Amino acid sequence: MSTTTSLEQAHAGPAPAPVPGRRRRRTPWRGWVAAVVGAALVVAAWATVLSAEASPLPPLPEIAERAAGFAGDLLGVADPTPAYRDAGSWSRVGGLAVDTVVMSVLATGLAGLGALATVAGASRSLTVGEFGPGGPLGWAVHLLSRGLHTVTRSVPEVVWALLVVFTLQPGVLAGAVALALHEVGVLGRLGADVADSLDRGPLRALRATGAGRTALLLYGVLPQALPQLVTFLLYRWEVVLRASIVVGFITGAGLGFALRLDLAFRRWTDVALVLLTYVLLVWAVDLASSLLRRLAR
């Protein structure tokens, strides 16, 4: 009476080499249990969410009406001077787009440097594992780096932005710092996972030649891990750009700031122009990032 279920298949791993004498014991209904628990969680979540806010959902016709009205506003149906027919609006948005890209590049660069500086510390095998100094020093470095990554990663960019504007003047730099703070955690953790899953053979061979820890890092770890790290960095650039609009909303820079002002003054066609630029920018960065990733290969 045993069978596997679709959920279980979805969770099943790639074929591991069969280990003699180590047979997995499978609970046949585990997939169903997971499915039921998951469904119950979803129902509970919806119940919690729907009871949280007092405001009722407007009736369907009204939603449709509002959506149509909003779309009309964005397209400038009733607007005699829509922003997209005004050269000034285009050049303004163009300048802000440049700011936004600068913010994202700076953030990704800072995060990359931060991650590079801490990734060895966060790697288990390079601190307390096979290739690390071990001992209290190794543990201290490891836990500190890991903790730094966890803390920075757990706090969303937007919250970092709220905190950063308390200390830095609003602007592109503040936005870049907020984005970078979150991104250090993401990249650092990804990098540490890469460093821990490296092929150990070359590292052991290097150590056997008498290489010290620095040499091990430079000749063994970095050459193996760096291409993967750069690929991650380029992937994350797109994510950073996507987030830069909401961070700019708070730190008062780039397209996000324009969006905030245009929303506040109900300049709907300007809102549409900003959003259009934003989407085009994300597409362009997506393309650029995939081209650069090809270079990294």
Partner 1 sequence: MSRARRRPAPDTGRTVDGADACVLDEVTVAYGGRPAVGPLSLAVPTGQAVALVGPSGAGKTTVLRVLAGQVAPASGAVVLAGQDLARLRGRRELPRLVGLLPQRFDLVPQLSVRHNAQAGALGRWGLLRSVAALLLPLEHPPAADAVRRVGLGERSATRVADLSGGEQQRVAIARLLVQDPAVLLADEPVASLDPARADQLLDLLRGMARDDGRTLVASLHAPELARRHFDRVVGLRDGRVVFDLPPAQVTDDVLEGLYRLLAPVEHRPRQEAG
Partner 2 sequence: MTSAVLVPVRPRPGSRSLLTALLVGAVVVSLLAVEVEGASGGGAAARELLTSLVQPDLSPGFLATVAEAAVLTVAYAVAGMSVAVVVGVPGALLVSGVLARRRTSRAVTVVATRGVLATLRAVHELVWALLLLTVLGLHPLSGVLAIGIPYGATMARVLGDRLLDVPRAPLDALTAAGASPEQLLLYGRLPLAGADLAGYLFYRLECAVRAAAVLSFIGLGGIGLRIEVALADLRFDQVGTLLLALLLLVVAVDATARAARARLVV
Nearest distance, CB of residue 94 and partner 2, angstroms: 14
Work out how close the CB of 157 gets to partner 2 at its nearest, in angstroms, rounded to a whole number: 8
Among 28, 33, 36, 58, binds partner 2 (CB under 8 A): 58
Residue 52 sits at the vertex; the CA angle it makes with 48 and 53, to the nearest 5 degrees, is 145
Which residues inside 225-264 make contact with partner 2, applying CB under 8 A?
230, 233, 242-243, 245-246, 249, 259, 263
Look at the chain and count its residues. 297
Asked if 1 is part of the footprint of partner 1 (rule: CB under 8 A), the reply reads yes
Question: Smaller CB distance to partner 2: residue 207 or 242?
Answer: 242
- The torsion defined by the Cα of 165, 266, 74 and 287, in degrees rounded to 10, comes to -10
Question: Which residue number, 1 or 264, has a Cβ lying nearer to partner 2?
Answer: 264
CA dist 22 and 214 (Å) reads 39
Beta carbon nearer to partner 2, 54 or 87: 54
Classify residue 11 by burial, with Cβ atoms within 10 Å: 0-12, 13-18, 19+: exposed
10 lies in the site for partner 2, by CB under 8 A: yes
Q: Do 251 and 175 form a contact (C-beta atoms < 8 A)?
A: yes
If binding is defined by CB under 8 A, does position 4 make contact with partner 1? yes
Q: Per the structure block, which two tokens stand in for 196?
A: 């821990």
Binding mask 143-182 for partner 2 (x = CB under 8 A): -------xx-xxxx-xx--xx-xxxxxxxxx--x------
